[in-house]
Amino acid sequence: MNEQWHERIAVVGAGVMGSGIATLAIGHGVSVVLVDVDEVALETGRRRIAQQSRHAQLMGALPEGTTPGSLVTTTDLSGVDGASAVIEAVTESPEVKAAVLGEVSGVVGPGVPLVSNTSGIPIGELAGSVPVPRDLVGTHFMNPSYLITMVEVSRGPKTSDVTVDALLDLLATLRRRAVIVRDAPGFVTSRLLHPMINKAANLVGEGIAAAEEVDQLMQGCLGHRTGPLRTGDLIGLDNLVDSLLALHERTGDEACRPCDLLLAKVRDGELGRKTGRGFYRYEEAMF
């Protein structure tokens, strides 16, 4: 492990992605301070991290012989002070992310990498929220991040080489493979995947096929590993809708306008794996 990451990192946002990233870091020997404004969210995050750590061990996803990093949780944003890097993993809203990044940058000061985990909000768009744009860089960890080894990295127009190198070093410590892409709405993965899930949901909504049948065909005929609708459940249908809306607003692509069935499921609280029901039912919400 690089000496830089013997110290702790901070993860802001204790939701599905924040807790997954914290699980990944802790399992690779990196200590984490997890910050969220909601104590209930922190409690849920602590349970998720414990559960996911056991799952990661069972799946052989953690390095043997590595002492796990420590976990500290707090509702006080000043807890990020002293972190070697800060990973922002709050809701996929440009306004919320910009506000959080602005606050964080005022705590840590210049030179500390600010990493926005986003599925498609351009880093150049968020750069105006921080006083030192060269410190800001984007990642798109996949869910569950402790199992999926590839990470999409987006470099903003003002991101410095030093910041990119620091992020790549951290990702190497976490045994993740990074692919750097151009900073643009949706980057690569969301620009391809999210409209496909939207179209699959629309097929179900039109009564052409059931969710299970759509996923079976995509798996068996086209080699999609889990099927688009089960993938949507794992992402979180609310997160998926937010991402589609952001893509539609920025690109004008009608394939990104959320279909009626997706909107109805979000309105009814059927958000996928995390709520126990989405396109499928789940006995236990693991992630």
Tokens of 63: 């390095």
Closest to 135 in 3D by CA, of 83, 211, 67: 83
Instruction: Please tell me the distance from the alpha carbon of residue 228 to that of residue 194, in angstroms, as a whole number.
Output: 9
- Mean pLDDT for 254-264 is 98
What percent of the chain shows pLDDT beyond 90?
A: 92
pTM of the full structure: 0.89
If phi over 0 gives left and psi between -120 and 50 gives alpha, with beta otherwise, what is residue 54? alpha
What's 189-275's CATH class?
mainly alpha
Instruction: Please tell me the distance from the alpha carbon of residue 15 to that of residue 27, in angstroms, as a whole number.
Output: 18
Instruction: List pLDDT tens digits, range 203-228.
Output: 999 999 999 999 999 999 999 999 99
- Mean pLDDT for 159-175 is 97
Instruction: List pLDDT tens digits, range 49-102.
Output: 999 999 999 999 999 999 999 999 999 999 999 999 999 999 989 999 999 999
The answer to whether 248 is a known catalytic residue is no
pLDDT of the residue at 206: 97
* Distances 30 to 4, 114, 125 between C-alpha atoms, Å: 10, 17, 30
Scored b (16 or more CB within 10 A) or e, 144-162 reads: bbbbeeebbbbbbebbbee
pLDDT of the residue at 284: 66
The active-site residue out of 28, 140, 224, 248 is 140
Give the CATH fold of the 3-182 domain: Rossmann fold (3.40.50)
- Mean pLDDT for 150-169 is 97
| Sequence ranges of the domains in the chain | 3-182, 189-275
Q: Are 119 and 142 in contact (CB under 8 A)?
A: no
Question: With 90 as the cut, is the pLDDT of residue 285 above it?
Answer: no
Higher pLDDT, 51 or 7: 51
Tokens of 88: 């922002």
Question: Which H/E stretch holds residue 32?
Answer: strand 32-35
Question: With 70 as the cut, is the pLDDT of residue 128 above it?
Answer: yes
pLDDT of the residue at 7: 74
pLDDT of the residue at 283: 83
Mean pLDDT across the chain, nearest whole number?
A: 94
